[in-house]
Structure 1
Amino acid sequence: MIHDGETGQDIAQALADQDVVKSFDAFYDLLRKESPAPVFQPGAYQLSTKMSGRAALDRLLDPASHLNQTVLITEGTVAVDVLQLLSEGTDIPLAELQTAAADVASFGLPAEAKTLEGFLFPDTYSFPPGLSAHDALQKLVDSQFQALDRAGVAPERRWSTIVLAALIQKEAGPNDFFKVSRVFHNRTDPAQWDSGRMQSDATVAYGTGKTHVVTTTDAERADASNPYNTYIHPGLPVGPISNPGRVAIDAALHPADGPWLYFVTWNQETRETIFSTTADEHEAAVVKWQAWMKENPEYG
């Protein structure tokens, strides 16, 4: 997906991250030499992996590669960004999507749902021209219901499963979903974690509106007015904080076996995570994370 307002650097990074080109430099250096500067249209494009920078650029500038009415939604995307993606990839105005999304009761969600968050299934979608905003969103909701059904989740458990899966999706790298799930399951056990507080920075950040980061300040973690503040309020967050995919749902239902009560993703690039059972072990892991963050302030 190319998003409205993205720069050449953004596009180069996306291509490198998805293994379309060998590296950021392989594409961006070529892009800087182009005259006149290429103009990219927002939307979805069909490319291959392991392309040369030249081939990737030619493909992005070829109208035949632009997939009309196609939208790619990745796991962990939050609802406000899903609406933007739908608008960029289709002929549906953003304002119509926002209006449709506000009518939460019309989508058949669990009674606890106050927004569509958590129930917009991440996938690649192709929409027929002229589809209404409500019907486009309903397609995503129905896909999430189907994913829950395939996972064996009864309708009465949809809400609790999605809330936990959305938290796992936001807090963990894909390789650690099942271990992170175990940490949160263990924290719901009073015999292991008597406070009952999940203490998730991702939930706090979501409640402040900072949906693209998981770091928080001392003041934010102490703010009891934030209903998503799981440092203050016990139990799972009051609602989903992302739109989870199949693996996160599976992890929520089938946590790994283990005694872990803490985890910290100390390397934000590789998503390497340290799991700990004691507070002392966790403190040592936090020190390692803080050192990495000091050397990589752009992730703060």
Structure 2
Amino acid sequence: MADEPSWDDIFSGSGDSTGRARTTPEEDGASRPAAPRSGPVSRRELRERERQQERGRSVPDAAPAAGSDAPSARAEEPALAPQREPADPFPSTTTAAAPPPKPPRRKTHRGTWILAIILVVVLGGGAIGAATLWNQVAPGVQALFGAKPSDDYEGSGNGTKVQFTIASGDIGSTVAANLAKAEITKSTEAPYKILLANPSISFQPGTYSMYQHMSAQSAIDRLQETDARLVTKLVIPEGTTLKGIVSLMATATKLPTADIQKAAADYRSYGLPGNATSLEGYLFPATYELDPGKTAHEYFQEMVDTMLKRLQSAGVAPAQYEHTIIFASLIQKEAGLAADFPKVARVFQNRIDQGMLLQSDATVAYGTGSTGRVTTTDAERADASNRYNTYVHKGLPVGPISNPGDTAIEAASHPASGSWLYFVTVDLETGQTVFSTTYDEHLRAVSQFQAWLRAHPSYNK
């Protein structure tokens, strides 16, 4: 028919007279897919398209008849219209699908509750117990809240006392390391940093009363306090023998007795006069402060140096050191009261000058090894093999019999004036001594002493 479009019109797509493309009702209907929307595509639209594609793939294609050119049934099915859904409140700004947002993290107060429980336990333990417990749990609490554990304690300790020793020659790093080793400070670094920042800090060798778990600053401060220092001393009484000093030193210093005896036997290493045969007499009796780390040889050397200085102060010439020491050691053992020392020196000097035997029981007793006795037996006084027996051998004994003090050294250097040839202590408790010029006077004084001994038998042992 004339009004029908030609085949060229149908296939040319030129449109009708209105300028609009000519379409069939099917092309205007729902079977025509909607043109893709320009611009961003929401996630909801992407999901809808995926569902439509999935539905299309789920319908199997109809098999065409053999030799038929008919289109497949799938091609002839109308497209499903998209379902209306609420607009996506979070439109995507990209064409790719974004992952769903993570749910907000729920806040927890576990750390707060743990801290509260710890505080209750700590505060319930008392001041000292709380400090100790807190020092134990603090690193864990700090780690819980992300804090770096401290290398230092807080406060002035947990109340547990510790004796801390600084030896001669210890340097700052040694002191810092020993503080940590003794559990006084938490670390070596904390006190060492303080010492590096203040080089003027110094330490006195000795033993100190400290506490466990002290802050580094409080520990350093306490080591500077005089009251914290436990001053231990070695007291050598006047007239103590070398044997007695060895015993006293072992007790006070805790050094092995064998080490002390070995140091004493090496008497030539102390700078004594060439005619000295022992340390006996050259150890000045005094009070010596103990120094941790000091050897027995160092203690003996200190005593010898002190004695040599005392001899110099008394005006004794080095050539007379040995003679003076022997004489003074005899006076120290025989005299009682300090006022009698010069008189006793005069008696011995007068007897030496007159060629008389000194007849000192103290020398005889020393030679027998019984240095604690003041009396001797007839057999002991007759024993010529005892080189210290002044009842047999004239002059001073062969060596010192004690370690004399200043009073005895002064008396040996400057005897009193007098003609006495005898003396005897008639009361050992008071030290009363009778000096006599004649032998008869002396015998009466001896009878007086013997009566005293009978009344005090404990002294005659």
> Which TM-score band (shorter chain)?
0.7 to 0.9
Task: Kindly provide the amino acid, as one letter, of the partner of residue 267 in structure 1.
Answer: D
Task: Note the alpha carbon deviations across 1:77-133, whole angstroms, 9 max, x for none.
Answer: 111111111111114222111001001111111222222110010011013211111
Is 1:210 matched up with 2:370?
Answer: yes
The percentage of counterpart residues that share the same residue type is 57
State yes or no: 1:184 paired with 2:345.
no
Determine the structure 2 residue equivalent to 1:83. 246
Alignment partners' CA distance in 1, 2:231 and 2:442: 47
The answer to whether residue 332 in structure 2 is matched with residue 169 in structure 1 is: yes
What is the correspondence of 1:26-105 to structure 2 with a 5 Å cutoff?
67-68=231-232, 70-105=233-268
Question: Which residue in 2 is equivalent to 1:159?
Answer: 322
Q: Does the alignment pair 1:221 with 2:371?
A: no
Query: Residues 19-68 of structure 1: CA distance to partner in whole angstroms, max 9, x if unpaired?
Result: xxxxxxxxxxxxxxxxxxxxxxxxxxxxxxxxxxxxxxxxxxxxx89633
Q: 1:297 to 1:66 in 2, by over 3 A?
A: farther
Contact 1:170 1:242 in 2 (8 A): yes
Count residues with an aligned counterpart: 233
Structure 2 residue identity aligned to 1:220: E
Aligned to 1:275: 435
Task: Tell me by how many angstroms 1:166 deviates.
Answer: 0.3
- The answer on whether the counterparts of 1:167 and 1:242 sit within 8 Å (CA) in structure 2 is yes
Most deviating of 208-217 and 87-96: 87-96
- In structure 1, the gaps of 5 or more residues are 1-63
Offset of 1:189 from its aligned partner? 1.2
Tell me which amino acid in the other structure corresponds to 1:123.
Answer: A
Q: Is the 8 A contact 1:91 1:129 kept in 2?
A: no
**1:110-259 alignment, distance < 5 Å:** 110-173=273-336, 174-190=338-354, 194=355, 196-259=356-419
Using the alignment, how far apart are the partners of 1:169 and 1:216 within structure 2? Answer: 18
Q: Which amino acid aligns with 1:280?
A: D
Could you tell me how far apart the structure 1 residues matched to 2:230 and 2:393 are? 46
Separation (CA, whole Å) in 2 of partners of 1:221 and 1:168: 19
Q: Unmatched 5+ residue regions in structure 2?
A: 1-227
Q: Tell me the equivalent position of 1:296.
A: 456
Q: Please say if residues 280 and 403 of structure 2, whose CA atoms lie closer than 8 Å, have aligned partners that are also in contact.
A: yes
What TM-score results when the alignment is normalised by the length of structure 2? 0.49
TM-score when normalising by structure 1:
0.75
SS in 1 for 2:353: coil
Compute the RMSD of aligned alpha carbons.
1.5
Distance in structure 1 (CA, Å) of the matches to 2:269 and 2:248: 21
Distance 1:111 1:269 in 2: 39
Measured in 2, the distance between the counterparts of 1:111 and 1:209 equals 25
Q: Would you say the 8 A contact 2:231–2:290 is kept in 1?
A: no
C-alpha distance in structure 1 between counterparts of 2:287 and 2:445, whole Å? 37
SS of equivalent residue, structure 2 residue 349 = helix
Q: Which amino acid aligns with 1:176?
A: D
Deviates most, 87-96 or 73-82: 87-96
CA contact (8 A) 1:163 1:241 kept: yes
The AA in structure 2 aligned to 1:114 is: T
Once structures 1 and 2 are overlaid, which stretch shifts more, 82-91 or 168-177? 82-91
SS in 2 for 1:266: strand
Code of the residue aligned with 1:67 in structure 2: it is V
| 1:26 corresponds to | none
Note the alpha carbon deviations across 1:160-189, whole angstroms, 9 max, x for none.
000000000000012210100000110111
